A and B are shown apart, each in its own frame.
Chain A
Amino acid sequence: LAKTTQPISMDSYEGQEVNITCSHNNIATNDYITWYQQFPSQGPRFIIQGYKTKVTNEVASLFIPADRKSSTLSLPRVSLSDTAVYYCLVGGVGSSASKIIFGSGTRLSIRP
C-alpha cells in the first residue's frame, strides 16, 4: 500500500493560491491519486483525482510529475470556507478498488 506524506498544517490568507504537496514514493502502476477535503463532523468530500500530468476542475488543479512520486493540490484564491483538513490518498479505483489508508492530512487554516 502506498504511504503518503503531507505537511501537518498550513496557513494562508483569503484570495491567495494555496499549494499542498504530497509525497507517495511507492505508488503502484494502477494507483490513482485522489484528494479529499474534510470539515469537522463530516465525511470527506471528493475534490479531484488524477493519474498523471495535470488535472483541473472547477475547484482545484492537481499536478503530477512524470515519476508520479508526488502530487500537488492547487487551490486558487482561497476563502475562509476552505479552512479544512485535506487528505492525499493513493489507491486503485473501480474494478481495481483497493483499500486506501489515510495519512495525517494537512490542516489548512485560512485567515482574513
Chain B
Amino acid sequence: GAVVSQHPSWVICKSGTSVKIECRSLDFQATTMFWYRQFPKQSLMLMATSNEGSKATYEQGVEKDKFLINHASLTLSTLTVTSAHPEDSSFYICSATGLAEETQYFGPGTRLLVL
C-alpha cells in the first residue's frame, strides 16, 4: 500500500509555543489530506480536511486560528499548533488519498506533549 510519513514522531514543548507537524505522502500524490486527533483510549476525531492548493475545511469545534493547516503541494501537508497549551497534548494523525488511490492511508502519528 501507499506510504504516509509524519515528522516528528513525538515532540515536547513549553506552553505558549508553536509546533509544526509534517505529513508526507511518499509514493503517491495526495490530493486530499485529513488531520485527526486521538486522546488516550478514544477513537480518532477528525479535525480538518485539506485539498492541495485550497484552504482547509475545519470540523465544528476546531479552531482554525489555533490549528493552522497548509497543503501547499501534492505530497506535503503541515499542521501547526499555535500557542500550544497542555490540553492540546494528544496524538495527531494524518491521512492522505489521491485521485488514483482507492483508500485513505494513515501516517504513524505524532505524539505531542505540552508542558
Within 8 A of B (CB), among A94-112: 94-95, 97, 99-105
Q: Does B67 contact A (CB under 8 A)?
A: no
- Total number of A residues with any Cβ neighbor in B under 8 Å: 23
Q: Give chain A's interface secondary structure class.
A: loop
CA distance A43 to B99 in the complex (A): 22
* A87 at interface by CB-CB < 8 Å: yes
Is B102 in contact with chain A by the CB < 8 A criterion?
yes
Is B104 engaged at the interface, CB distance under 8 Å to the other chain? yes
Give the interface segment out of B69-77, B78-86, B107-115: B107-115
Once the chains bind, are B43 and A43 in contact (CB under 8 Å)? Answer: no
Cross-chain contact B108 with A42 (CB below 8 angstroms): yes
What 1/0 flags go to B30-61 for Cβ under 8 Å of A? 01101010000001111001000000000100
State A105–B100 Cα separation when bound (angstroms): 27
CB atoms of A101 and B104 under 8 A apart: no
Q: Are B1 and A46 in contact (CB under 8 A)?
A: yes
Interface residues of B (CB under 8 A from A): 1, 4, 6, 31-32, 34, 36, 43-46, 49, 59, 91, 93, 95, 97-109, 111
Q: Which residues of A contact B (CB under 8 A)?
A: 32, 34, 36, 41-46, 49, 87, 91, 93-95, 97, 99-105
Q: List 28 A-B contacts (CB under 8 A).
A: A34-B103, A41-B91, A41-B109, A41-B111, A43-B6, A43-B108, A43-B109, A44-B95, A45-B106, A46-B105, A49-B102, A49-B103, A87-B44, A91-B104, A93-B101, A93-B104, A94-B97, A94-B99, A94-B100, A94-B102, A95-B99, A97-B32, A97-B104, A99-B46, A99-B49, A100-B34, A102-B46, A103-B43
